[in-house]
Structure 1
Amino acid sequence: MDQSSIPNHLAIIVDGNRRWARKRNMPAFMGHKHGFERMENVIEYAVNLGVSYISLFVFSTENFNRDDKEIDYLMDLFCKNFSKLGLKMKKENIKAVFSGRRDGLVPYVIDAMDYLSSETQDCTASTVNFCLNYGGKAEIVDACKEIAVEVNNKALLIEDINETIFTRYLYTDLPPIDLLIRTSGEVRISNFMLWQLAYSEMYFIDVLFPDFDENCFNEALSAYQCRSRRFGGDSHK
């Protein structure tokens, strides 16, 4: 692996937890439990490789259409693990941020999110962006609404709006995504970080997320490093 060509911003669509559990005749919540444990390992491995930004799609706005018991378990899982991650991420100098709408989330989950963000706000080694109650279209719409308010209040001029300014109104002002990984074999982006994915490389792997180990990670990075990123230009120039 070429250590000089590690993606600056890595995004992962965390997918396949429930299927992982079903394959083992386990209840769905066991898949989510093992998935969260795997996610901690992935974060640690990516940071050690030198990835500066990691965005993780952990719960979409559409996931609220699932069974109430599963949603309740996921909210409890988020609350418990975000609270636990506070000291660990702070010790490892990893900053945590969140993308998504807070409306619809139960107060104890919001409290755990705020705790994790507060504990790690001064960390500088890497940034982990947890996308929870997140939708890419919703993010763009919400950014447009904020810009409209600023223009209406004469705090922003229409002629000053450009791509750089627009990015500042997204849920989190992060650099463009270099590499997107989706586990589970599904080949779609599912309304994830549509603005930030404009020129990203994409890697789809037929492995359920709880089984996404270091070997799988290395395969994804090797594939990324073999690609020529042209950003609409000519690779021969």
Structure 2
Amino acid sequence: MTAPPADVPGSQTGPRHVALIMDGNGRWAQARGLPRAIGHREGVQALKRTVQAAPELGIECLTVFGFSTENWRRPAEEVSDLMGLVRSYVASDLNRLDREGVRVRVLGRRAGLPADIRAIIERAESTTATNDRFLLQVAFNYGGRADLVDAAQAWVDRVLAGEATGPLDEAALETGLSTAGAPPVDVIVRTSGERRLSNFLLWEAAYAELVYQDVLWPDYGPEALGDAVRQYRQRDRRFGAVEVEPVLAAG
């Protein structure tokens, strides 16, 4: 997944896979004198707009950071609100996503989630499992470090079970990541003006372009996503290589 494409130098197209850190819900609400929960609800509307716009921009896969392993530290009421948004989003949009050919895949740890949330995740994945027009990955109860630990542990378990031998290499570790099988991440976008990864897709970020946008997530939509795509296409992606100028023969 982290290997660069064969045609690294040259004109830039794509991206195929965009990852989004959806940041700024709380600040959006605070600026309007509203509860943080309203900001999260408006953030869901922004997600709907963005998912619908992505295929029109040539994007094949969108990975969004919905709930991190660190978000459990937030106030219990806010965590409960976030869980409620998962319930309402799937209830209101799953059928539409399925009709539009969107495959839903949820990344992250299932252990520790409420039983009904696990059931909702499984229903969303099973309902859309055969869709192939677009892939929507939702990182939920996800952390990049935790995902690497889980991938390494999965390899250890395979070795102990006699299912794998030899040293652990990058390709083997990658098969144990939540994102295994998805296209390589081309660009990671963070909204709200913050400029850090916050434990998101640490392995997958190896060759990803980073785009930071000064827009709070509830205000996000097709125009902002299009701007991120334009920024990506203006980058010169060399992956450690150097473009060599052609040598002109003396004549």
Could you state the TM-score of these two structures normalised by the residue count of structure 2? 0.89
CA deviations on 1:173-214 (whole Å, 9 max, x unpaired) are: 123210110001100000001111101000001110011132
Say if 1:146 and 1:169, in contact at 8 Å, map to a contact too. Answer: yes
User: How do 1:100-179 residues align onto structure 2 when only pairs under 5 Å count?
Assistant: 100-159=108-167, 161-173=168-180, 174-179=182-187
User: How do 1:189-208 residues align onto structure 2 when only pairs under 5 Å count?
Assistant: 189-208=197-216
Which amino acid in structure 2 is aligned with residue 206 of structure 1?
D
Say if 1:93 and 1:123, in contact at 8 Å, map to a contact too. Answer: yes
Q: Aligned residues: percent identity?
A: 33
- Pick from 66, 73, 78: which aligns with 1:58? 66
Cα drift, residue 5 of structure 1: 1.5
Partners of 2:42 and 2:212 in 1: CA distance? 20
Cα drift, residue 222 of structure 1: 1.0
Which amino acid in structure 2 is aligned with residue 164 of structure 1?
A
Per chain length, whose mean CA-contact separation is higher, i.e. which structure has more relative contact order (CA < 8 Å, sep 6+)? 2
Cα drift, residue 77 of structure 1: 0.9
4+ runs deviating over 2 angstroms: 161-165
Partners of 2:16 and 2:190 in 1: CA distance? 17
Cα drift, residue 80 of structure 1: 1.6
Partners of 1:156 and 1:99 in 2: CA distance? 24
In structure 1, runs of 5+ residues without a counterpart are none
Which residue matches 1:188? 196
Aligned-residue RMSD, C-alpha? 1.3
Which residue matches 1:82? 90
In structure 2, runs of 5+ residues without a counterpart are 1-11, 246-251
Cα drift, residue 25 of structure 1: 0.6
How many residues align structurally? 233
Partners of 2:220 and 2:94 in 1: CA distance? 24
Q: Which moved more, 1:84-93 or 1:135-144?
A: 84-93
CA deviations on 1:34-59 (whole Å, 9 max, x unpaired) are: 00111011011002222111100011
Which amino acid in structure 2 is aligned with residue 220 of structure 1?
A
Which residue matches 1:27? 35
User: How do 1:84-99 residues align onto structure 2 when only pairs under 5 Å count?
Assistant: 84-99=92-107
Partners of 1:138 and 1:31 in 2: CA distance? 27
Partners of 1:66 and 1:235 in 2: CA distance? 47
Which amino acid in structure 1 is aligned with residue 208 of structure 2?
S
